[in-house]
Structure 1
Amino acid sequence: MKRVCASAVIMIALFVSGCSSGRAAELYDTAQFEEKQNNKDHAVQLYEEILKKYPDSTYAKKAGERLTQIKQESKPTGR
């Protein structure tokens, strides 16, 4: 019985981690779409949500990089 419970816990943990990765991917894809639609404010919100909710995901690193680029692009050039 203990083995069955341990196996169930492992399966649930794997399932949950897979779901969160999928949600991070979904948010990232949506943020990319928003950028292409020139809706940078919403893209920034989505990237920040990824960083907050899924900080250890590969999408968090990508989101952080995009945020840096967006902020660089939005800085005044001094002209």
Structure 2
Amino acid sequence: MTATRFLLGALYCGLLLGCSGDKAKELLETAEFEERQMNLPHAKQLYDDVVRLYPSSKQAEIARARLAQMNTSP
């Protein structure tokens, strides 16, 4: 579990530093992974990052929808 979190953290840092190709897409995929793993606080943080860093992207539109759905779910 610790190794997985380390790798995800490294991926996240790489995304923010611009070390990868399509950063918005990869950040969204990481958020979706975290959501599937039921790590909802981290997923929300990542979705927020997509919206903040890439506000006019297709991924930001998806992230906004996910955040809205997460905020209205019981």
What are the ranges of 5 or more consecutive residues in structure 2 without an aligned counterpart?
A: 1-18
Partner of 1:42: 42
Alpha-carbon RMSD across the aligned residues, in angstroms, is 1.9
Give me the identity figure in percent. Answer: 45
Deviant stretches of 4+, over 2 Å: none
What are the ranges of 5 or more consecutive residues in structure 1 without an aligned counterpart?
A: 1-18, 75-79
Partner of 2:68: 68
Rounded Cα–Cα distance in structure 1 between residues aligned with 2:37 and 2:23: 21
- CA shift at 1:26, angstroms? 0.4
Rounded Cα–Cα distance in structure 2 between residues aligned with 1:20 and 1:72: 33
Aligned residues: 56
Larger Rg, first or second structure (1 or 2): 1
Partner of 1:56: 56
CA contact (8 A) 1:51 1:64 kept: yes
Please give the TM-score of this superposition, normalised by the length of structure 2.
0.70
Partner of 1:27: 27
- CA shift at 1:20, angstroms? 8.7
CA contact (8 A) 1:21 1:57 kept: no
Please give the TM-score of this superposition, normalised by the length of structure 1.
0.66
Rounded Cα–Cα distance in structure 2 between residues aligned with 1:67 and 1:53: 15
